Amino acid sequence: MARFVIRRLLFGVLVLWLISLVVFGLFFVAPHDPARTIAGRLATPVTVALVRHRLGLDLPVPQQYGHFVARLVHGDLGYSYYNTEPVRSLILSRLPVTLSLTLGGAVIWLALGVGVGVTAARRPRSAVDRGATLFVLTGLSMPTFLVGLLLLYFLFFRLHLAGVDAFPGGGYVPFTQSPAQWVEHLVLPWLTIAFVSAATYTRLTRASLLEVLGEDYIRTARAKGISERRVVYRHGLRSALTPLVTQLGVDVGSLLGGAIVTENVFGLPGLGQLAVQSVTTQDLPVIVGVVLLAAFFIVVANIVVDLLYVVLDARVRLD
């Protein structure tokens, strides 16, 4: 196990290094001038040269990349071009919002998706199975922003007109300040990302469980007189969760890098909103920081998924 973990960690470090190389090339070596962007269109060549020197852009490219990697190793992502605030501070201030949104939504979409998928797989071609198919098609057909706007209209705007203020229309309250208000402000965003994602997990659960329930060892368990509930949940579902874990690693890693649509629909000050603002203002250090953080989360999520494979499926071998 230790060799497997070390091997995966080294591979993750290699992937992150390659990503840093690509990001550096796109933002600092590609044919555009960050110094000109910062100085403004009306800046004189002398001003642009001063800005370029201050940012170290007048150094040879290998030396620039060496300084870039050295700062990354020490957690230094530089300073924002527009408010001179450390990029690390900006990201850390937004991270709890995105973390709360992602983990809460993941709990809901797993409970809903796996629950509906298992129920449909246990009764294939029944009315329940057809209802699950309708749910999957609806969830996959509706974009996230549309789900969010519909929830805002019916559960916030219409209820507010009726004198019922059950759900806030946006904003964020830290958990440490008020756990109850933290939940209230995140219920609608959680439901938004959970509805769309649950459709995918329902389809994966149903297809995977139906395949597992046709295996020989499942028929043997049934022949021994084991209850159907135990056969499904203890023997079948554990092996059927492998593709779900793969999808979960991708989804959670991506959302932790910034749930752009959901955060902007509900006005959540998370990494997604920070990314949009940075792209709008062409704040390169912040954009680079968000991109590298998203890559880090995805790499870590995939390493965790590889470890969970061994726990969930005894047929998986580390070698």
| pLDDT tens for each residue of 278-319 | 888 878 888 888 989 988 998 888 888 888 777 766 555 555
Give the model's pLDDT for residue 315. Answer: 57
Strand partners, 86: 79
**Looking at the domain assignment, is residue 5 inside a domain?**
no
Burial profile 236-251: b = 16 or more Cβ within 10 angstroms, e = fewer? bbebbbbebbbebbeb
* CA neighbor of 243 nearest in space, from 203, 215, 214, 216: 203
Tokens matching residue 157: 């705007």
**Looking at the domain assignment, is residue 3 inside a domain?**
no
- Residue 23 CA to residue 72 CA, distance in Å, equals 12
Tokens matching residue 314: 């005894």
- Residue 276 CA to residue 39 CA, distance in Å, equals 21
Give the model's pLDDT for residue 134. Answer: 92
* Domain identity same for 20 and 64: yes
**Looking at the domain assignment, is residue 177 inside a domain?**
yes
Helix (H/G/I), strand (E/B), else coil: 229: helix
| Residue 258 · residue 98 · CB < 8 Å | yes
* Domain identity same for 45 and 160: no
* Domain identity same for 67 and 113: no
* Domain identity same for 134 and 195: yes
| Residue 168 · residue 160 · CB < 8 Å | no
**Looking at the domain assignment, is residue 51 inside a domain?**
yes
CATH number at residue 104: 1.10.3720.10
Tokens matching residue 149: 């706007």
Residues 6+ apart with CB under 8 A from 246: 305
pLDDT > 90: what percent of the chain? 23
- Residue 301 CA to residue 308 CA, distance in Å, equals 10
* Domain identity same for 22 and 123: no
Give the model's pLDDT for residue 316. Answer: 58
pLDDT tens-digit profile of 104-160?
999 999 999 999 999 998 888 889 889 999 999 998 888 888 999 999 999 888 888
The pLDDT of residue 212 is above 70: yes
Give the model's pLDDT for residue 82. Answer: 76
Sign of torsion over alpha carbons 33, 38, 44, 50: negative
Number of folded domains that form the chain: 2
Q: What angle do CA 184, 185, 187 make, to 5 degrees?
A: 65
The total number of residues written for the chain in this structure: 319
* Domain identity same for 56 and 124: no
* Domain identity same for 98 and 168: yes
Domain hosting residue 64, numbered range: 16-73
